[in-house]
Amino acid sequence: MRELTTVQYSTQQFSDENLLLNFKLLDPVQLSKNLTWLWGKDSDEFPLTFLTEGNGAVKSLKPIVLNDTQYKWKIMGRMRSTSKCLGLANTGITKPGLNGTPFEIDFEDDFFKRMYTAYSPNGKQRIRFQTDGLKIGLKRVRYTVILLTGGNSSYLTSDQIVAGLYWVEGAPIAAASKSDGTSSNHSAPGEMTNQFGFHRYGYELAGNVSNKVTNIQFDLAGGGTTDKWIPFDFKNWELKRKKLNEEDLWYSEYNRDVNGVILAHEIDGEPIPIGAGIRHILTTGGQYDTYSTLTLNKLKSIVRSTYSNRVDSTPMELVMYTGRGGMEQFHNAIMVDAVANQYFTPLGATQIMNGKEGFLQYGTYFNQFKTIDGYILTLKYHKMFDFGSIAMAQRQNGNMRDGYPLNSFTMVVLDQSKTNDGGRNLTMVCEAGRELVTGIYKGMSAIPEVWGAFQGNQISTRKDISTFDLIDSQGIHFANYTTSFWLERV
């Protein structure tokens, strides 16, 4: 059987008449000029770009110093209230606190202050700090405490003084008179650093290709049709640029070391800055996990870890982006739980319906999850996880699960909520003055109309060649990354 060719490729450097002839696009005019997109349109492969750039959520930032690409921002998480216990100072005491006797406990740091109280890990016993912490070693601070819970016969149970368990701060208590003052801890926003990355793209043409007409009617990006080659080819070039930039926002990795020095990536002696994309930000920040088969409990734990990290009252908008594999895992996790709870009748009524012409239709799927406190997590399909560069390489290399590339099962929860200042938690950032810079290198070749908007910035050559050059800067920015999550299937 002869292989059906649906897309033609050429490694030719220039887009000229020879390219059109090789593609057989310069035949005599035909009655029908409609181009059929056998694999569907590609414009839905960059929703992150539309979410940020398309909705005006773009910030033009100045680097920290001249000729640098880094930028910083403040982040405020939950105020700290716990410290890790290291155990009793005197392990020979079997009933610490009995009859109100003071005893000593070691903690990892001096977070607790004199006169304050602390609750045990199980929340059932309480102590008061009689002294400020005394540092006796590296990450070891000793306190004298008394037990407040129960009467004289009570004592602190050994299971609550296990090294590694956390105690939580309680209110300071004092006598009705002659009490002394105490001190307190202080909290301030932390600081995070990322940097811009840069992309260079070029489109070359030669000869009189700008005026050549093909035998196919092409759709234009802004609507309408044309039978000229360049508008169609330039539209595909722009779609590919956006697709590659979109994937870069998801997968790029920050390339500076702890001292701020860019790793050994350079061109002609100049360093290449690369910003952290969504995956690198979330995995580095601990907002990451893996799964083999998604369960409802795993889903609930992810939702809890995202919602519980929000410390203000701004309504949250959580969206989970995934491929078709992830959508099936999401549905199956809820379905398995529903069946286990014997919700057979309502599920059957929604799953099996009367279709057209007397056929039965099977297939209604879960795409939202509502938390106990009323928040809704919405599932959204992202074509990149099924047909992006990584997914296509996995398809060709046979790295498949259940008929889908492994990347199709990646599930990313993004907090798209508004922030207190009215902006968005997730924004695209660019270097001020170099958000998108274009230039036309004009030779003897005619400039196509589709480049018309950029012709104010031209440079020249004597050759029968013209090029369209572009440089952009971009990065992805979380105001608070702890309310998002990256989940991968293994």
State how far the Cα of 279 lies from the Cα of 414, in Å rounded to an integer.
11
Compute how many other C-beta atoms are within 10 angstroms of the C-beta atom of residue 139.
11
Under 8 Å between Cβ of 182 and 173: no
State how far the Cα of 72 lies from the Cα of 62, in Å rounded to an integer.
10
Query: Which helix (H) or strand (E) segment is 404 a member of?
Result: strand 404-405
Burial of 10 (0-12, 13-18, 19+ CB in 10 A): exposed
State how far the Cα of 301 lies from the Cα of 288, in Å rounded to an integer.
12
What radius of gyration do the chain's Cα atoms show? 31
pLDDT value of position 187: 55
Compute how many other C-beta atoms are within 10 angstroms of the C-beta atom of residue 219.
16
Under 8 Å between Cβ of 50 and 383: no
Among 432, 321, 458, which Cα is nearest to 381's? 321
pLDDT value of position 188: 54
Q: Taking the CA of residue 318 as centre, how many other CA atoms within 13 Å lie in the half-sphere pointing to its CB?
A: 30
Whether pTM exceeds 0.85: no
Among 367, 374, 275, 375, which Cα is nearest to 321's? 367
Under 8 Å between Cβ of 384 and 247: yes
Residue carrying structure tokens 């589709």: 450
Domains of the chain are 7-78+196-490 (no CATH), 82-170 (2.40.10)
pLDDT value of position 242: 86
Residue type, 46: F
pLDDT value of position 346: 55
pLDDT along the chain (490 residues), means of 10: 56 68 56 42 65 69 68 68 92 92 95 92 92 92 94 91 92 80 66 84 87 80 78 85 90 86 71 90 92 91 76 72 94 80 54 52 64 78 91 94 96 86 82 82 75 60 77 87 92
Print burial letters for 361-385: b (CB count within 10 Å at least 16), e (below 16): eeeeeeeebeeeeebebebebbbbb
Q: Taking the CA of residue 332 as centre, how many other CA atoms within 13 Å lie in the half-sphere pointing to its CB?
A: 11
Compute how many other C-beta atoms are within 10 angstroms of the C-beta atom of residue 165.
16
Among 479, 459, 483, which Cα is nearest to 469's? 459
Termini Cα distance of the chain: 37
**Number of residues assigned to the chain:** 490
DSSP letter for 435, please: S
Residue carrying structure tokens 């399909």: 381
State how far the Cα of 355 lies from the Cα of 63, in Å rounded to an integer.
59
Q: Taking the CA of residue 407 as centre, how many other CA atoms within 13 Å lie in the half-sphere pointing to its CB?
A: 21
Residue 97 CB contacts under 8 Å (≥ 6 apart), including other chains: 103, 127, 145, 146, 147, 154, 155, 156
Q: Which residues pair with 72 in a beta bridge?
A: 193
Residue carrying structure tokens 């609550």: 160
The Cα-based distances of 265 to 196, 253, 274, 297 in angstroms read 15, 12, 9, 42
pLDDT value of position 225: 82
Token code pair at residue 211: 């005026």
* Alpha carbon 416 to chain centroid, angstroms: 10
237 phi and psi, to 5 degrees?
-60, -45
Token code pair at residue 283: 């995995």
State how far the Cα of 420 lies from the Cα of 417, in Å rounded to an integer.
10
